A and B are shown apart, each in its own frame.
Chain A
């Protein structure tokens, strides 16, 4: 009896909750750590970037208005779905990074734990970032954090799953929506993560994932006038400077790359607060 021929997966983009191919029809060959062919990934175009921003903007009103409890539940649900697909991610991470199955397993576990950690922040970050302000007059005065809006993310080239989850979760847990440029070198786990997101009750458009050339796509995202913030963690110095200059056009909030990030360390609140605004509401007190 001959060995069964396996059914391969087609890796596409993730935009607005759907999995389209790039409108450009382009793809590129993704290889593993040893140079072996793994799959063809979609090579997203400028039009795909714009479609993804439109989807993220459309999702923003609903996601930002969802209760913090609800957002926390959904992030926890993503962790559950990821855990359920552990074996698949372990094999993809091992192939992409050329690490042992044991090491890949640790990275997948860390990604699950990171999601659980951020899930709990949804209804706590306000206590840290908000305040009631004792103004010198008869006024009620309250400051609360609110999401910045649509955030572009250049995901770290290394850490195709753990790094990716570590940049997406802090942006969306507070109510932002995002367009992510996945690791160009190792994009496959990002699309498998999209399958997890699509089955976690996360509304379509909250996270949009594009694969392809970061150098090509990041400037379009940075210069897009309907994007409110950009995380340049995965950009090299030259690309980051170019993107920051483009981002100035509509005064995007910019999270600059910070050398080599140690993803295993306590992430702190900085990735959340980079994309939070503070709103202060006044009202007179009287009878």
Chain B
């Protein structure tokens, strides 16, 4: 049964949103030369702020600032760079509530996720890499930074992806030009203020806002030594092609279509929670989301009825309400894509189900959705939907589960639910994916390397492994 909850909104007064934002270049906010764009609250479609668009010339200024700062920053003793990063980590903790509210406003994710998942991980990531800055000689990747890193990040975890990019880059002695996603620039711009509060030398971090052409200018700039990108496989391919014949070092964290595999001996209640976390966390806007549920045939019926019961208790609505489980879809464009693929799912013959779930009148919303009777050839089993849509397939034997799980060009993550340890390890060995969550899902930690196999990209973020992307290979 559903209990009525009184609204429990987090106050948005904690954050001051300016009417307009400039670019952050060489330690200062400056005007952009492009036509400014608006960023909206996806839960209400209200305009939050106007943001400067960086042109190629603006990006060039940012790269020059970063190049100039590289001399100073890379020459600092690692222990000094470490202290700047520790300082940034602390300011993030101090201003965590403000950042969390701003993230939920700009992105549409529930405050309980931005507050309890994103922000703690952001601070932890800076804290973790701060500690590496003066210990690089022990890591095994050399100690020579690459230079200027051009970084382009997505809208699903705006500040967390910023942390994944900036923290290791700075720890290794690089400087950065970072482009946040067009629909979620605000927390990156608040982070720029944090850099000022931390007295970070000007030019070490530069933030250029804009759309895809700004990102292309960052990636394509001839004085950028390193390209780090998180986003779609489609754009990842273009980037890989564009750096051919250059000396730019590249890491790409791209799409996924993860299998979440449930065996007949799994703890069903825990597995149901894991399935929910796997695909409905962050509205399914997660590259490593468990978007394909592979359930052993003998328990499919029982598991699905438990899952549907559980989904009926999810609360969709105001992202700032502390009881909200499912927030808003990040943009109209993303909503259209989710709708298009869901319609394709129905048209191709799968059965669609959603719990009774009234959607707010304004904003971009999509109810939690489960497709059953899905076959491997269906688009909803092959293409990344990047929304709260689960495709359910069945299997009989472990070998069949492996075969189906690996039957995708992606290879970012996978889940395995079984109480039998030897079977779990047998599966983990055979799944061609960079992260295998067994009897859990969607767990992240700064010490734990993350990244894909195959067309999910290359390079790892997090852990000692994450340093490699930002240091010159020892040859």
Residues of A within 8 A of B (CB): 65, 128, 131, 133-137, 139, 141, 143, 148-149, 228, 237, 240-242, 244-245, 247-251, 253, 256, 258, 268, 270, 277-284
Cα of A135 to Cα of B454 in the assembled complex, Å? 26
**B244, A283: Cβ atoms closer than 8 Å:** no
**Chain A: interface secondary structure?**
mixed
- When A244-B245, A277-B434 are in contact, do A251 and B237 touch as well, CB less than 8 Å? yes
Q: Contact at A250–B475, with CB atoms within 8 Å?
A: no
B451-A248 in contact (CB<8A):
no
- Shortest 6 CB-CB contacts between residues of A and residues of B: A241-B245, A244-B244, A248-B240, A135-B445, A248-B241, A133-B447
A244 to B451 Cα, complex, angstroms: 21
Q: Quick one: which of B444-467 are within 8 Å of A by CB? A: 445, 447-451, 453-455, 457-458, 460, 463-465
Q: In the assembled complex, which residues on chain A have CB atoms less than 8 Å from the CB atom of B237?
A: 248-249, 251
Does B245 contact A141, Cβ atoms closer than 8 Å? no
12 cross-chain CB contacts under 8 A: A133-B447, A136-B124, A137-B445, A139-B440, A141-B445, A141-B448, A244-B244, A245-B241, A251-B233, A251-B254, A253-B458, A283-B424
* CB proximity of B416 to chain A, nearest CB, Å: 9
- Select one of B236, B243, B440, B473 contacting A251, CB under 8 A: B236
Task: Looking at the assembled complex, report how far the CB atom of B217 sits from the nearest CB atom of chain A, in whole angstroms.
Answer: 19
Q: Does B26 contact A (CB under 8 A)?
A: no
* Contact B409 A250, beta carbon cutoff 8 Å: yes
Taken together as a complex, chains A and B put the C-alpha atoms of A100 and B88 apart, in Å, by 63
- Beta-carbon contact of B445 and A268 below 8 Å: no
Contact at A133–B245, with CB atoms within 8 Å? no
Q: In this complex, what residue of A is CB-closest to B455?
A: A251
Q: A250, B435: Cβ atoms under 8 Å?
A: no
How many angstroms between the C-alpha atoms of A228 and B453 in the bound complex? 9
Q: Which residue of the partner chain, among B428, B465, B473, contacts A278 with CB atoms under 8 Å?
A: B465
Q: CA separation between A228 and B432, bound complex, in Å?
A: 12
Most buried by B among A141, A143, A241, A244: A143
Given A283-B440, A284-B440, CB of A251 within 8 Å of CB of B140: no
Q: Quick check: is B316 within 8 A (CB to CB) of the other chain?
A: no
Most A CB contacts (10 A, CB to CB) among B233, B244, B435, B455 go to B244
Does B463 contact A237, Cβ atoms closer than 8 Å? no
Which residues does chain B contribute within 8 Å of A242, judged by CB atoms?
244
User: Is B449 within 8 A of A280, CB to CB?
Assistant: yes
Give the size category of B's interface with A: 35 or more
Most buried by B among A245, A253, A278: A278
In the complex, B443 has a CB within 8 A of chain A: yes
Q: Is the CB of B240 within 8 A of A247?
A: yes
**Cα–Cα, bound, A180→B435 (Å):** 30
Which residue of B is nearest A132, CB measured? Answer: B447
B240, A278: Cβ atoms closer than 8 Å:
no
- Check B436 for interface membership: any CB of A closer than 8 A: yes
Q: A136-B124, A248-B241, A283-B424 are in contact. Are A268 and B434 (CB under 8 A)?
A: no
- Chain A residue numbers with a CB within 8 Å of B424 are 283
The answer to the question of B438 belonging to the interface, with a C-beta cut-off of 8 Å to chain A, is: yes
Flag if B244 contacts A245 (CB, 8 Å).
Answer: yes
Q: Is B437 an interface residue (CB 8 A)?
A: yes
Taking a contact as CB atoms under 8 Å apart, the answer to whether B464 and A131 are in contact is yes
Chain A residue numbers with a CB within 8 Å of B52 are none
Contact across chains for B449 and A133 when beta carbons are under 8 A apart: yes
From the candidates A245, A256, A280, name the one contacting B435 in the complex (CB within 8 A).
Answer: A280
Closest chain-A Cβ to B11's Cβ sits at a distance in Å of 28
Residues on A with C-beta less than 8 A from B460 are 278
Q: What 8 additional pairs, Cβ within 8 angstroms, besides A133-B445, A241-B245, A251-B236?
A: A248-B238, A248-B244, A256-B247, A268-B474, A278-B434, A280-B448, A281-B428, A282-B440
Expressed in whole angstroms, the minimum distance between the Cβ of A237 and any Cβ of chain B is 7
Q: Specify the chain A residue showing the minimal Cβ separation from B120.
A: A136
CB nearest neighbor in A for B249: A256
What sequence of 0s and 1s flags, for each residue 370-385 of chain B, a beta carbon within 8 Å of any chain A beta carbon?
0000000000000000
Point out the residues of chain B lying under 8 angstroms from A280, CB to CB: 434-436, 448-450
User: Which residue, of A134, A244, A250, A283, has the highest number of chain B Cβ atoms within 10 A?
Assistant: A283
Identify which of B243, B435, B455 contacts A282 (C-beta below 8 A): B435
Please report the C-alpha to C-alpha distance between residue A251 and residue B437 in the assembled complex, in whole angstroms.
24
Question: How far is it, in angstroms, between the C-alpha of A105 and the C-alpha of B142 when the chains are bound?
Answer: 35
Contacts of B449 in A (CB 8 A): 131, 133, 143, 278, 280
A251 touches B457 (CB 8 A): yes
B261 lies within 8 A of chain A by Cβ: no
B101 CB within 8 Å of chain A: no
B252 touches A268 (CB 8 A): no
The answer to whether B454 and A228 have CB atoms under 8 Å apart is yes
Q: A251-B233, A283-B440 are in contact. Are A241 and B464 (CB under 8 A)?
A: no
Q: Which A residues are in CB contact (< 8 Å) with B464?
A: 131
CB distance from B425 to the nearest CB of A (A): 8
